[in-house]
Every structure is written in structure tokens, then in C-alpha cells.
């Protein structure tokens, strides 16, 4: 029997994902008539929410917030009016894990299965079928959902039988990536203010252990003069707020994530609700008073300090976010398996996550005193140049505090303390 699929929520991400279901028995729904018309012109059918649910076996949703998901399901005329026992709802929203689990309970009372399957990787990756999809839910739901999700991307993971864990892991992923993004841009701004050329600085970062998703994508795109994401800045701030809420609920300190969220919130206020994630580049320029693009020197000593500072910030971002995920109840091995293939990737994560999954600290080539010296030197230079180094200062304070309880000769990899304490 041909499976009848519905997709509700055709924004930038949902619309890109739904195109991969064209050619199947697909019905779509969105408040934007143009988004619906574009897919109808390519072979989909259109329906109101209750009718879509009534006529489909599996319904996927991709909406801005979990509150929107609840409204789409249970408001008058919503999906629930057309749902029947045996149907499956797949929520691809980057939402609130605990609220999503409550929605799943409400649907279960109607005999309807639910999974969450948020995506990571950005709009271009969604268009290319290359996003990371992190699904969670009962095995029976997963077995039914897997072929549909694999039509959307070639990177699909089932991380847990507990609904909401996919969203929690997505929050871990996004928080790590946001920490990378803002710390790396801050360090690049310092390098540019000190006279380094953007191209050699980015090439250095990408060739060694400091490489991360931001340096390989956003910064490489900046060197080449192209945009790399159309993701809304407001949605990233929303995800960071959700991650920090989980951090508070689990007793997990997340200072680097909080710093990244604070800077992005400033950007949202300055640039307005239409701001995109790529706009953190001009935001960094405004905050630092320096243009990130341009030629300059390739001072190897300064670049080595920036490299070590970036490695340290990458490491802290990973450690604090993974610790939060563990305290929430996520599996260490599952996080290690999934985080390394999306926007949480960095060169150091390839060393750190396997060690964390085994409950041990990784051994990196630097010591804590070496990291402290590099961060201190960069802070002094930033002060002289008049740059606000918010995330780098957070990393410096963290390293200085860690020396007091890890010892003066500790390896930098021991900053993965959060895993052992979880």
C-alpha cells in the first residue's frame, strides 16, 4: 500500500525538507500560500490541517516552536481533529524536549504514535539532502519513520526510545556550534585588528586542530565572498535559550553557551527580527570595530596563540554542553556518534568525544598553563586594541579556575571534567 505523507510547516527548513518527498503521495499545509503553491506546482496536494491528518498515514511537522506544534495539533481545526489510532506524527521542530514529551503523551491517548526528528546543518544541507536528522521515539515508530526520514537525508540517526531526546541532543549540538561560532569570530577579529590577513588566518585554523564547523564553512565562505546559511538568527537564539533552560534544570554550568547567546541576542536587537545567522559577521565587525575581510601579515607566533585559544574554546563548548546532555539523560556513546557529523564538529571533537564516551579524559598536546598563557596574551593585546573579548575572557577564567583543582601541570584535555562528574 502506498504510504500517504503529510507535511505541515513549509518555512525555510520545512520547505526544503518537503521537496525530497515529491513524487510520493504528498499533501502539504502552511500559512504561506506561496510556499504551498510552489510544492503543489511540483505534484503535491494541498489541504487544511484537519483534512491533511485525515488523509495521511504519517504527518511531519516543522514549526518555529513547540508551542506552535501544540497549536497546530490541538487548536480548533487542527491536526488532531483528523488523526486516528495507528497514525504517526513526526515533529522536526527544534523545540522543547519536555514539552514535546507531553504532546506525545496526549497523542498516545488518541492511539497516535509520535517521534521527534529535528535537523541540524542549515538550509543548503537540507536542500542537498545532507542534514543530520536526530530522531527519538519508540522502536515501532522508528521502524515506520525511518524510510521517510532517509528520503530527506543520508544522515539519519535514532538516538533514543524516549520522545524529546532527539530535540535535547539537537540543543546540545546547536549550543556547541554557537560557542564555536562566536568564539572563533571573536578571535579572528582580534587577528585582523592586529594586522593578520583573513585568508592566511582561516587557512591556518582549517589546517590544524583548531578547525571547526565555523572555520570550515562560515569563515571559508567569507574568504570566498559567499553566504553559507539562511538560518534565522532569532531561531538560533531560541535554541540557545532552550539549551540554557535545560542547563539550569540539570544543574549544568554553561558559561560559554551563555556568552554566545548574549552576543547573538545583542545582534538580534541591533539588526531586527529579520536577521540571519550570517549576520553575526557584521555584528562581530561592529562590536570589534574591525573589518574581518582584508589582506595582512601571517605572523606565525600570533596565529599560534589564536590557534590554541580556539582549540580551548572548542573544548569548553563541547565539555559544558555534553555534560548538560548527560545530566539530562542522553547517552554518551550516542552523543559521540551523532555530534561528530554535524555543526558541532571540530577537529578536537574527534579526540574528545571517544574519550568522553569511554569515561576518560583525552590527552591533547597542550597543557593548561600553555592555554592560559595564550589566552592571557590575547586578552592583553585585545585590551590594547580596544576589542571586547567576551567569550575568550570566559575561557580564560575557566582555565584559570581549572588549574586550581586539576593541578598546574594538567593536560588541556582534562577540561572534559563535566563528563566524569555527570
Cα 154 to Cα 132: distance, rounded to the nearest angstrom: 8
Cα 336 to Cα 358: distance, rounded to the nearest angstrom: 10
Cβ atoms 114, 89 nearer than 8 A: yes
Cβ atoms 172, 339 nearer than 8 A: yes
Q: Which CATH class is domain 4-163?
A: alpha beta
Q: Describe the crossing of helices 233-250 and 300-328 by its angle, rounded to 10 degrees.
A: 60
* Banded model confidence at residue 417, pLDDT cuts 50, 70, 90: low
Cβ atoms 183, 364 nearer than 8 A: no
Task: Provide mean pLDDT across the span 342-369.
Answer: 88
Confidence check: pLDDT of 342 > 80: yes
pLDDT of the residue at 353: 86
Domain 169-421 has CATH 2.40.50.840: no
Least confident of 15-29, 104-118, 357-371: 357-371
Cβ atoms 413, 355 nearer than 8 A: yes
Cα 317 to Cα 333: distance, rounded to the nearest angstrom: 18
Confidence check: pLDDT of 360 > 90: no
Task: Provide mean pLDDT across the span 331-343.
Answer: 90
The reported pTM is 0.94
Selection from 120, 5, 137, 12 nearest residue 64 by Cα: 12
pLDDT of the residue at 419: 43
186-200: pLDDT as tens digits = 999 999 999 999 999
The domain ranges of the chain are 4-163, 169-421
Cα distances from 22 to residues 2, 254, 302, in angstroms, run 14, 41, 52
pLDDT of the residue at 1: 58
Confidence check: pLDDT of 418 > 50: no
pLDDT of the residue at 409: 87
Q: What would you measure as the largest C-alpha separation in the chain, in angstroms?
A: 70
399-409: pLDDT as tens digits = 998 888 888 88
Burial string for 89-124 (b: 16+ CB within 10 Å, else e) reads bbbbbbbbbbbbbebbeebeeeebbbbbbbbbbbbb
Q: Which of 87, 170, 238, 276 is catalytic?
A: 170
Task: Provide mean pLDDT across the span 206-226.
Answer: 96
The phi-psi region of residue 194 (left if phi > 0; otherwise alpha if psi is between -120 and 50; otherwise beta) is alpha
**What number of other Cβ atoms are within 10 A of residue 49's Cβ?**
22
Confidence check: pLDDT of 421 > 80: no
- Structure-block grid coordinates of residue 137: 521515539
The per-residue pLDDT of the chain, averaged, comes to 94
Confidence check: pLDDT of 147 > 70: yes
Residues 6+ apart with CB under 8 A from 55: 4, 6, 27, 47, 82
Is 170 tagged catalytic?
A: yes
Positive or negative torsion for Cα 211, 177, 130, 136? positive
Give SS3 for 60.
strand
Percent of the chain with pLDDT over 70: 98
Least confident of 80-94, 221-235, 248-262: 221-235
| Cell 570550515, residue located | 216
Cα distances from 309 to residues 120, 178, 190, 346, in angstroms, run 26, 16, 12, 14
Cβ atoms 372, 409 nearer than 8 A: no
Give SS3 for 289.
coil
Selection from 109, 96, 71, 229 nearest residue 167 by Cα: 96
161-188: pLDDT as tens digits = 999 999 999 999 999 999 999 999 999 9
263-319: pLDDT as tens digits = 999 999 999 999 999 999 999 999 999 999 999 999 999 999 999 999 999 999 999
Amino acid at each position: 500500500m502506498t504510504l500517504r505523507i503529510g507535511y505541515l510547516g513549509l518555512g525555510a527548513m520545512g520547505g526544503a525538507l518537503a521537496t525530497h518527498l515529491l513524487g510520493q503521495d504528498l499533501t502539504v499545509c502552511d500559512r504561506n500560500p506561496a510556499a504551498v503553491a510552489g510544492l503543489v506546482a511540483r505534484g503535491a496536494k494541498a489541504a487544511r490541517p484537519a483534512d491533511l491528518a485525515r488523509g495521511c498515514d504519517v504527518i511531519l511537522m516543522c514549526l518555529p516552536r513547540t508551542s506552535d506544534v501544540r497549536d497546530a495539533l490541538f487548536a480548533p481545526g487542527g491536526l488532531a481533529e483528523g488523526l486516528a489510532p495507528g497514525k504517526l506524527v513526526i515533529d522536526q521542530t527544534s523545540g522543547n524536549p519536555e514539552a514535546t514529551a507531553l504532546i506525545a503523551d496526549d497523542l498516545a491517548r488518541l492511539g497516535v504514535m509520535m517521534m521527534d526528528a529535528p535537523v541540524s546543518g542549515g538550509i543548503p544541507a537540507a536542500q542537498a539532502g545532507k542534514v543530520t536528522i536526530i530522531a527519538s521515539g519508540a522502536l515501532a515508530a522508528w521502524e515506520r519513520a525511518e524510510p521517510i526520514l532517509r528520503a530527506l537525508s543520508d544522515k539519519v540517526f535514532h538516538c533514543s526510545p524516549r520522545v524529546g531526546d532527539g530535540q535535547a541532543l539537537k540543543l546540545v549540538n546547536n549550543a556547541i556550534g554557537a560557542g564555536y561560532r562566536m568564539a572563533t569570530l571573536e578571535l579572528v577579529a582580534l587577528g585582523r585588528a592586529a594586522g593578520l590577513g583573513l585568508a592566511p588566518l582561516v587557512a591556518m585554523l582549517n589546517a590544524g586542530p583548531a578547525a571547526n564547523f565555523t572555520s570550515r564553512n562560515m569563515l571559508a565562505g567569507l574568504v570566498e565572498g559567499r553566504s553559507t546559511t539562511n538560518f534565522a538568527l532569532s531561531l538560533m537564539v531560541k535554541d540557545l535559550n532552550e539549551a540554557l533552560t535545560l542547563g539550569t534544570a540539570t544543574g549544568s554550568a554553561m558559561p560559554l553557551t551563555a556568552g554566545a547567546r548574549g552576543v547573538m541576542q545583542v545582534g538580534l536587537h541591533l539588526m531586527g527580527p529579520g536577521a540571519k545567522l550570517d549576520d553575526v559577521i557584521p555584528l562581530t565587525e561592529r562590536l570589534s570595530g574591525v573589518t574581518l575581510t582584508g589582506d595582512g601579515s601571517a605572523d606565525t607566533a600570533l596565529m599560534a596563540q589564536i590557534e590554541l585559544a580556539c582549540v580551548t574554546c572548542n573544548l569548553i563548548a563541547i565539555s559544558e554542553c555534553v555534560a548538560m546532555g548527560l545530566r539530562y539523560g542522553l547517552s554518551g556513546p550516542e552523543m559521540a556518534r551523532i555530534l561528530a557529523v554535524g555543526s558541532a564538529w571540530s577537529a578536537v571533537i574527534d579526540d574528545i568525544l571517544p574519550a568522553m564516551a569511554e569515561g576518560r579524559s583525552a590527552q591533547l598536546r597542550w597543557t593548561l598553563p600553555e592555554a592560559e598563557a595564550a589566552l592571557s596574551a590575547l586578552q592583553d593585546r585585545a585590551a590594547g586594541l580596544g576589542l571586547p573579548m567576551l567569550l575568550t575572557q570566559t575561557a580564560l577564567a575557566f582555565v584559570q579556575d581549572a588549574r586550581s583543582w586539576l593541578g598546574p601541570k594538567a593536560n588541556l584535555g582534562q577540561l572534559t571534567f563535566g563528563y566524569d562528574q555527570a
